[in-house]
Amino acid sequence: MNLKKYLVRALHRLQKGPGYTYKELLVWYCDNTNTHGPKRIIKEGPKKKLIWFFLTLLFASLVFWQWGILINTYLSYNVTSSLSIGFKTMKFPAVTICNANPFKYSEVKPLLKELDRLIEAALERILQPTPGNSTENMSLPLDLELWNQIPLVLIDEHDKDNPIILDIFETNQTAVDNETAMDSRANKKYKLAVKLCSHQGSENCTYRNFSSAAQAVTEWYILQSTSILSKVPLHERIRMGYQAEDMILACLYGAEPCNYKNFTQIYHPDHGNCYIFNWGMDEEALNSSNPGAEFGLKLILDISQQDYIPYLSSAAGARLMLHQQKSFPFLKDQGIYAMAGTETSIGVLVDELERMGYPYSDCTVNGSDVPVRNLYSQYNTSYSIQACLRSCFQTHMVEICGCGHYMFPLPEGVNYCNNEDNPGWAYCYSSLRSSIKQRQICIDSCKETCNDTQYKMTISMADWPSEASEDWIFHILSYERDMSTNVTLDRNGIIKLNIYFQEYNYRTISESAATTIVWLLSSLGGQFGFWMGGSVLCLIEFGEIIIDSLWITIINVISWCKGLKQRRARARFPDSPPTVSELVEAHTNLGFQPEPVGAVPGAPALPPEPGTPPPNYDSLRVQPLDTLGPESDAD
Amino acid sequence: AAAAPGKKITARLKRTLPVRGPQAPTLSELMRWYCLNTNTHGCRRIVVSRGRLRRLLWIVLTLSAVGLILWQCAELLMNYYSASVSVTVQFQKLPFPAVTICNINPYKYSAMKEYLYELDKETKKALETFYGFSEGKSKVRRSVDDWNSTGSDFFEQIPLLKVEDFSRTATELHSGQKRKIEGSVFHKDSSIVNSGDSNDIIGFQLCDANNSSECALYTFSSGVNAIQEWYKLHYMNIMAQIPLEIKEKLSYSAEDLLLTCFFDGLSCDKRHFTRFHHPLHGNCYTFNSGESGTILSTSTGGSEYGLQVVLYIDEADYNPFLVTSTGAKIMVHDQNEYPFIEDIGTEIETAAATSIGMHFTQSRKLSKPYSDCTETGADIPVENLYNKSYSLQICLHSCFQKAMVESCGCAQYAQPLPAGAEYCNYKKNPNWMYCYYRLHEKFVKEQLGCQQICKDACSFKEWALTTSIAQWPSVVSEDWMLRVLSWDKGQKLNKKLNKTDLANLMVFYKDLNERFISENPANTLVILLSNFGGQLGLWMSCSVVCVIEIVEVFFIDSLSIVLRRQWQRAKKWWSGRQQGRAAQATASDVERQGHENPACIDEDLPTFTTALRLPLPQDSPLPRTPPPNYSTLRLETAFTEQLPDTLELSQH
């Protein structure tokens, strides 16, 4: 019904012809609009009119230009950061404590016995000036099979272009050659290298050169022991590592005593058994509401340095790391050392960065939108960029080498690499590790988390225990641990740790959007208001005028078409009298269209009084503006 | 004929664009007109309101709105140059910084013996004289054979003194003579001033060579400081005379210092290090200095993927007086930065593995007018003596060196040489030490103006270091480790390395998150204008158009009204004087003149009359009508424009 009514009204309007012309419409608009410029155009004299016309145009273009800038600014999604520093009650960080050495040497000795003998013999050969005696001293034959899987070789670089590769245990090699080579070793032309082959005995081999023999030996030993240990089941590996009750001798959190049972055990491939305090997995995380060492965590650890695996880790100490609750400790990246025989005090400042997610910055809230499967989720830990990178590497490793690396968690249905099953794994791994392309892929596919928490540590150290107190402290601690009256501890193994919040314990940088929709609107409004005093209503007014002028156009076009038809008809009957529409046109548009005015035949016949026509128009004009408009709308 | 087209054009212009003069004849009417027709709110209320109280209220409100606008806009303008800080974190492949490593001891003591022979002898003598301390007990093992030879001149000039503070007498080291101290006494440690037993104060006296009465006595609370400072003074004097090439030979070579090197999982060697001679630390080696054109970068964090070096610190070859600690000094810096290792280096312990985790932060400040910092240092009137990019430290050192060359005539040893200057030494510049100490004191007290001239750099890179230490080598691995390292060193096997001669250093990125802290302008012109617009709109619904209106009405129109009135007055006075009938000029005449604008501006007079002729009757009997005229005209404006056309038509 409504539609019909509307259509009828539209038809009437069409039949009536335009109520006013473009010019009238514009003048009316200028006179009645709320924007400031247009009013001036019609109010003043011609000179000012011109000036105001250009001023209005200029301001309008300025407004549009600046609107463009503002919208662009809004779409660039800038952020502002606010910084807050102070002290508040905060969750005490999770503290992971490991021994730098993964396993007790006494426990893993049976596994590594062959390896140790090999490396000892090799060192003997390398270091001893006369190669003869060392081999004779060996009572047992060496397990050369293990050696041949990944051998160490000497590279003679006397002749730079033509280096000679000497296998250390190849006794067949002419002894004379060897001997002369040994003599000139003082010139330091020899290098130790690890020979890595894609298959045993194949020609596809690379030599990993090392400038230092110490480095080469360590690297070789790590490769070999990794292969051996990867075959050992996990519970066995945990058993071989350091037990909590042996390692954590005393614990005090604030005023409350704690013991090794408050620590969560986790098996870390680099460091064996690690113990995490306040991980927040089973129970609520502890809060600390006071700054200072008295209210922090105090620990006494024993790392029993005598039981270290000699070739695996040359640095001795505890490895510790502060991290967020429910996150996996990546000790190689963020961990710090604590030296034996010292008291290490660590003041903590929590440095937080809270970022807005998409579209403000490219970060991930929980890692669910990252294309890499998080292998560390088996520990129930949250996403972190380190976890992502390692998962990415392990996935590549499984894809390319067919087995997983011992240092990272395994995807389902894959085994760890070892020399027997995957003879070329070391070669594959080392080429993958040094591949820049692979790293770049991982960097590109991993995203950082939006909430980045770092623990800034102020580390200080002092000797502990003091010489005067050494005696009784060792006695008590030995008694408590081993129930023995003998001292079972020594300076080389004992570590005291104090971890506490500093006076200012947090520094939070949080982001907020610099440009919100409210900001955008108020800026747009400000611009429009500043140049032209306009508002949204003014825009609507303008839209109205455009619709009106469209109507006028439509009506004009229709009447023009009608006119065309009639002219054709008139061409057929040239003597026809003026039609009704022509008369109507004359009534409505007489004064405003110059062309029909010239064609009006009755013009010279009008009375010669110049004063009369204006009132005529006047009344006409007033009608369309006020009375005609509403009337036509009303019916 | 030539002037005719020009005249025609002007005539046409005048006809098409006639000047009508101000909107109202008098000031008060102009104001009324303005208030009624302006686009700003408030003003209209003043005119429209009825009753004095209401009008007053509206005047107060409007004025306070104007005041508020002015205040708020001033506030906006003042805060225009403020910056907002944004922190972005980017996870990416990071360029590895340059790592400069120095041995704490600058030169091999065994090689330096011939240069330092005299000085050491003097020092030992001083120890013996003052502390009755014989050589056997000390750690100083290097015997000086010619114990009896006489000391050279310049040691006598600046001898160590034992000062008795109260009597102001000093015992000289050589002669044992007591002498009175003249001049001012400088205490290097101010704490000694209140110590009661100041008998054994050791110090030295520096005198102006030209004027021996002007002396400065430097005393120290502890003999350790006194002797070290005194030793350093002479040591610099000696070193200043040795050319650079020889000094480089006297110091440690890369093979000497670096035992093993490992970077990003690959082996590296001395070719990756660049030598750099530091005046106080001898030969230093910079890893990844970027001199070869490539800067190494890491794409994996963690200790395995950083730089791992084992340093050989030959403790036995240390200078006993110059340095008293053992180890190495390292500094992490940008490739373009000069390493001020003596100022901000980190010390590395021997027999330990020092692990240094880095976190990279880059900061950028806005330069002028937001803050007083410099982008490149080019706008600072201090010549950069270091061949590196600008930093505050470089500027301060260069500034001091410049002042030193200007006032002492020679350059200080610890800083680079400016063009045409040479290092101070006692033979050529006998006065330099006194001069230097004086100048240095001035510098510290900020009297040289260096601290005022030098500005901080706008952008800087910072590597936050987390340093931790572990025992190395561990008890069980010590044996094989030392053996293998000895083999590496290529020494004879009977001389096994000592673990206190070794230091293990690991420098790595903790994570590859780069923090970039930058300042951005908080306001742009667009935002400032929007804020202005917001303020104007909020209080008065005003815009630039209103401002132009105000300018038009209050300046141009009122000025023209005032001028016209003055002109008429002058004219009246003139005609009155001429014709002697001033009394005839009635007040109504003046008003009519104002309304009809007959005498507004002379040039436009004809146009006015022509313009006025058509719409207005020739002689309006009531001059007071025009103001209402305007308002009615306003309603009709749309048609007035059409009038002439139709009129013309009808006349045809």
Read off the pLDDT of residues B543-571 as tens digits, 9 standing for 90 and up: 888 888 888 888 888 888 888 889 989 99
Q: What residues in B contact A210, CB-CB < 8 Å?
A: 262, 267
Report the b/e string of A503-538 with b at 16+ CB within 10 A.
eebbbbbbbeebbeeebbebbbbbbbbbbbbbbeeb
**pLDDT grade, residue B333 (50/70/90)?**
very high
Mutation choice for A interface testing from B543, B551, B597, B652 by most A CBs within 10 A: B543
Is a pLDDT exceeding 70 seen at residue A296?
A: yes
Is a pLDDT exceeding 60 seen at residue B246?
A: yes
Of B353, B484, B549, nearest to A123 by CB-CB distance is B484
Tokens of B549: 């209106």
Distance (Å, rounded) from C-alpha A157 to C-alpha A168? 16
Contact across the interface for A305 and B476, Cβ inside 8 Å = yes
Contact across the interface for A533 and B543, Cβ inside 8 Å = yes
Instruction: Read off the amino acid at residue B144.
Output: V
Contact across the interface for A337 and B548, Cβ inside 8 Å = no
User: B588 to chain A, minimum CA–CA distance in Å?
Assistant: 27
B310 touches chain A (CB under 8 A): yes
The domain made up of A362-449 has a fold known as Helix Hairpins (1.10.287)
Contact across the interface for A386 and B511, Cβ inside 8 Å = yes
Mutation choice for B interface testing from A158, A323, A337, A617 by most B CBs within 10 A: A337
Is B439 or B204 the better-scoring residue by pLDDT?
B439
Of A197-211, A360-374, B359-373, the poorest mean pLDDT is in A197-211
What is the homologous superfamily of the domain A81-101+242-354+453-512 according to CATH?
Acid-sensing ion channels like domains (2.60.470.10)
pLDDT at A184: 42
Is a pLDDT exceeding 80 seen at residue A525?
A: yes
Name all domains of chain B by residue range, CATH numbers in brackets.
24-81+526-558 (no CATH), 87-105+254-367+459-521 (2.60.470.10), 116-132+153-241 (no CATH), 374-457 (1.10.287.820)
Is a pLDDT exceeding 60 seen at residue B8?
A: yes
Q: What residues in A contact B536, CB-CB < 8 Å?
A: 529-530
Contact across the interface for B476 and A618, Cβ inside 8 Å = no
Mutation choice for A interface testing from B358, B477, B481 by most A CBs within 10 A: B477
Q: Taking residues A226-250, report their average pLDDT.
A: 89
Is A436 or A582 the better-scoring residue by pLDDT?
A436
Chain B, 472 to 531: residues with Cβ < 8 Å from chain A are 472-477, 479-481, 483-485, 487-488, 490, 492-493, 504, 510-513, 515, 520, 524, 526-527, 529-531
The percentage of chain B sitting over the pLDDT mark of 90, rounded to a whole number, equals 13
Q: Taking residues A390-410, report their average pLDDT.
A: 89
Of B265, B352, B527, nearest to A523 by CB-CB distance is B527
Q: What residues in A contact B91, CB-CB < 8 Å?
A: 385, 443, 446-448
Do the domains at A81-101+242-354+453-512 and A362-449 have one common CATH topology?
no
Contact across the interface for B511 and A334, Cβ inside 8 Å = yes
Q: How far is CA A231 from the centre of its chain?
A: 36
Contact across the interface for B493 and A311, Cβ inside 8 Å = no
Q: Show Cβ contacts of residue A430 under 8 Å, excluding neighbours closer than 6 positions.
A: A196, A206, A208
Q: What average pLDDT does the structure give for chain A?
A: 80
Q: What residues in A contact B271, CB-CB < 8 Å?
A: none
pLDDT at A322: 93
| DSSP, res A316 | B
pLDDT at B97: 93
Tokens of B502: 């070794």
Output the CA torsion sign for B313, B315, B321, B325.
positive
Q: Which residue of A has its CA nearest to B645?
A: A591
Q: Which residue of A has its CA nearest to B356?
A: A336
Q: Taking residues A334-342, report their average pLDDT.
A: 91
**pLDDT grade, residue A497 (50/70/90)?**
very high
- The ipTM value here is 0.78
Chain B, 628 to 647: residues with Cβ < 8 Å from chain A are 634, 636-639, 642-643, 646-647
Q: Count the Cβ atoms, other than its own, within 10 Å of residue A467.
A: 7
Distance (Å, rounded) from C-alpha B182 to C-alpha B172? 14
User: B298 to chain A, minimum CA–CA distance in Å?
Assistant: 10
Domain range summary for chain A, segments of one domain joined by +: 1-79+523-557, 81-101+242-354+453-512, 105-125+145-169+189-240, 362-449
Contact across the interface for A308 and B475, Cβ inside 8 Å = yes
Q: Count the Cβ atoms, other than its own, within 10 Å of residue B58.
A: 18
Contact across the interface for B533 and A604, Cβ inside 8 Å = no
Contact across the interface for A333 and B475, Cβ inside 8 Å = no
Of A27, A40, A440, nearest to B545 by CB-CB distance is A40
Q: What residues in A contact B650, CB-CB < 8 Å?
A: 606, 608-610, 613
The percentage of chain B sitting over the pLDDT mark of 70, rounded to a whole number, equals 75
Chain B, 545 to 574: residues with Cβ < 8 Å from chain A are 545-546, 548-549
- Residue A188, burial from CB neighbour count under 10 angstroms (0-12, 13-18, 19+): middle
Distance (Å, rounded) from C-alpha B404 to C-alpha B397? 10
Distance (Å, rounded) from C-alpha A484 to C-alpha B195? 53
Distance (Å, rounded) from C-alpha A141 to C-alpha B394? 65
A298, A292, A320: which is closest to A249 by C-alpha? Answer: A298
Contact across the interface for B470 and A454, Cβ inside 8 Å = no
User: B157 to chain A, minimum CA–CA distance in Å?
Assistant: 44
Of B269, B353, B638, nearest to A24 by CB-CB distance is B638
| B105, B319 contact by CB (below 8 A) | yes
pLDDT at B210: 65
| A107, A273 contact by CB (below 8 A) | no
Q: Which residue of B has its CA nearest to A319?
A: B470
Q: How far is CA A560 from the centre of its chain?
A: 65
Q: Which residue of B has its CA nearest to A42?
A: B637
Is B462 or B156 the better-scoring residue by pLDDT?
B462
Q: What residues in B contact A310, CB-CB < 8 Å?
A: 474, 476-477, 479-480
**pLDDT grade, residue B357 (50/70/90)?**
very high
Is a pLDDT exceeding 90 seen at residue A93?
A: yes
Report the b/e string of A147-175 with b at 16+ CB within 10 A.
bebbbbbbbbbeeeeebeeeebbeeeeee
Tokens of A401: 């080498």
Q: Show Cβ contacts of residue A120 under 8 Å, excluding neighbours closer than 6 positions.
A: none
- Beta-carbon contacts below 8 Å between A and B: 315
Q: What residues in B contact A522, CB-CB < 8 Å?
A: 530, 534
For residue B516, what are the CA distances in angstroms to A509, B4, B91, B363, B648? 12, 72, 11, 6, 76
Is a pLDDT exceeding 50 seen at residue B191?
A: no
Contact across the interface for A211 and B268, Cβ inside 8 Å = yes
Helix/strand/coil for A458: strand
Read off the pLDDT of residues A25-41 as tens digits, 9 standing for 90 and up: 888 888 887 788 787 78
Q: What residues in A contact B82, CB-CB < 8 Å?
A: none
